[in-house]
Every structure is written in structure tokens, then in C-alpha cells.
A = this chain, B = another copy of it.
């Protein structure tokens, strides 16, 4: 099933989220306005704002609060990408030049800050201190997680557990903010807020595992950046961890981390692509998706609940 189909219950409102995000470029400062247009022109899949809208629609669908929240989670995501690209010295993102590559790290830092500020303005419009606090806590989790990832670069001694913790911080936490805020703003009962949190924690981890798989198995064209970027930057993801687990003493990942030689990187990437680890990784992602959906059945039965099931299926179908 395509995302477009899954989004049916909220597609109209998701389009409004995207229009609102585009409108943040309408400011007096011409140069900045043009750069903001550039940043928001290539939007991603919109999974985070979709999660907020769907989570709200499961309960009480009040767009006065859900709309700014959905805009806010997507802007926070965009801001973190701008900073991440500067940190990773990434040249392209979604097929276009990154801000750091186009204007330098200095502008990328400030542009990310500006986007955080805009995200903060929208979350303030929810008028709901609980979700505003969650929003800030999430940014804290994401940035401390990124600090851990950066500090752990080229460190071969990272196991599955540390990987799962890391991708929860990196991706699960923002998925979790997206659904929890939707449920809270939708006046869901507390038990349902918890179910939505558990759904998103696990869906986010599954999503990131698949993203990390695709970084190896996809094409540069589809990724919008070079294949194997994570490994090349010294970031260990699940497929590489599996290669290390199979032969801890000597393996191409270990050799590349030791030499940091380009040819060793190619060999490590080839090994990951041509071994059975990819299948194992999909299996684990699938388990997280099942865990995500485990408690959904106690929620009200409607189109939105079905969309959550379908989204979980979509996540693990990518690249298969």
C-alpha cells in the first residue's frame, strides 16, 4: 500500500501542514526568505505530521491545536536535518544541495536555529504546556543522542543494545512526540496516550532500522546521497553490527574503521549488501512493527486506527 492511500483520512489536512510550512518563508528579509523556500521546497514523506494528525483523529479531531502541532514536529525534524548535515558534512539531501554545502556551516547552524524557533512558535500555538514540555524534552533527547552518535564514530565496540538506544533517541523520540501530542491534543484518555507512545517508540525504531538498511541496499538516486553514507562517516548501524557479530576478530567493517581507507569502505559496503544480514535486519524491524501494533486493538476502531496498522506495514515494506 502506498503512503498516499494510507494518508487518506488526513490527506487534505496534511496538505495544509505542508502549505503552512511553506508559508514560513514569507518574511521581509529577502535573502533568508529565499533560503527558507529552498529548504521547505523538498519535503519528505511527512510521516511525523501524519502521525500527529492520525493520532488526533483517533479521538477528538480539533485542527486548531493539531495543525500547529503537526507543523511543529515537521519543522523540528527539518531543523535537526539541517544541523545533522552540517555535522556530517553531507553534500546532498533529498537530491538537492545541503545548506552547509550551499552556504557554509555558519549559515546551517543559524538556519537550523531559526527553524527550531519557528517550530517553537507553532508548538506554543497549541496552548498546551504538556505538549510544549514534551516538545522541548524531545529536542533534548535528540541532541544528546546525536552527541553520543558523533562521539561514537569509528568505535567498533557498539552492540545491538546501544544501537537500539541510539536510534530511539534519534528517531523514536520524535515519532513518539508526534503521536503523543496528537493523542493529548485529541483529549485521549491517559491509557490511550501510553499506547500511542509505545506504538511510536517501536515504529520509530523499525523505521530507522529500515532507513539504515536502505542506506546500504538502495541507489544513490533514490537516497539522494551516496550509498553507504552512514558507514563512510563511521556510524555503525544494524547491518554492519551483524557483520561484526559474525566474525568479531576480523571483518571488513573493522578493517575500514582501522584504516579509514576508501577501498576498505567499498569492501565493507559490498559485504553488507551481499550477505544475509539484510534479511535479518528486516526481520528485527518487523518485530518492532509487531510490538508497535500490539495494543492498538483496544483503541477505537476507525479509519485512523487502520492507518496506523497500514503505516507499520508500509515501514517494513520499503526497499523489499
Measuring CB to CB, which residues of chain A are less than 8 angstroms from any residue of chain B?
A: 27, 29, 31-32, 80, 83, 86-87, 105-107, 109-114, 116-121, 123-129, 132-133, 135-140, 142-144, 146-148, 150-151
A129 to B148, CA, bound (A): 32
How many copies altogether?
A: 2
Taking each of A109, A111, A123, A129, which has the highest tally of chain B beta carbons within 10 Å of its own beta carbon? A109
**Given A110-B143, A117-B140: 6 more A-B contacts, CB < 8 Å:** A29-B147, A80-B113, A107-B147, A116-B139, A120-B135, A121-B137
Task: Determine if B116 and A124 form an interchain contact, defined as CB atoms under 8 angstroms apart.
Answer: no
Task: Determine if A127 and B124 form an interchain contact, defined as CB atoms under 8 angstroms apart.
Answer: no
* Distance of A103 from chain B, by nearest CB (Å): 9
A113 to B29, CA, bound (A): 24
A112 to B140, CA, bound (A): 10
Task: Determine if B124 and A132 form an interchain contact, defined as CB atoms under 8 angstroms apart.
Answer: yes
A211 to B61, CA, bound (A): 51
A142 to B127, CA, bound (A): 23
Task: Determine if A150 and B106 form an interchain contact, defined as CB atoms under 8 angstroms apart.
Answer: yes
* Distance of A177 from chain B, by nearest CB (Å): 12
Q: With A116-B139, A147-B32 in contact, is A106–B87 under 8 Å at CB? A: yes
The contact of A124 among B32, B87, B136, B142, by CB within 8 Å, is B136
Residue contacts A-B, CB under 8 angstroms, 16 given: A27-B144, A32-B144, A86-B105, A87-B106, A106-B150, A110-B147, A111-B143, A111-B147, A113-B142, A114-B143, A114-B144, A117-B138, A123-B136, A126-B129, A129-B132, A132-B132
Residues of B within 8 Å of A144, CB to CB, are: 27, 29, 32, 110, 114
The contact of A147 among B114, B126, B147, B148, by CB within 8 Å, is B114
A258 to B147, CA, bound (A): 39
* Distance of A138 from chain B, by nearest CB (Å): 8
Task: Determine if B32 and A110 form an interchain contact, defined as CB atoms under 8 angstroms apart.
Answer: no
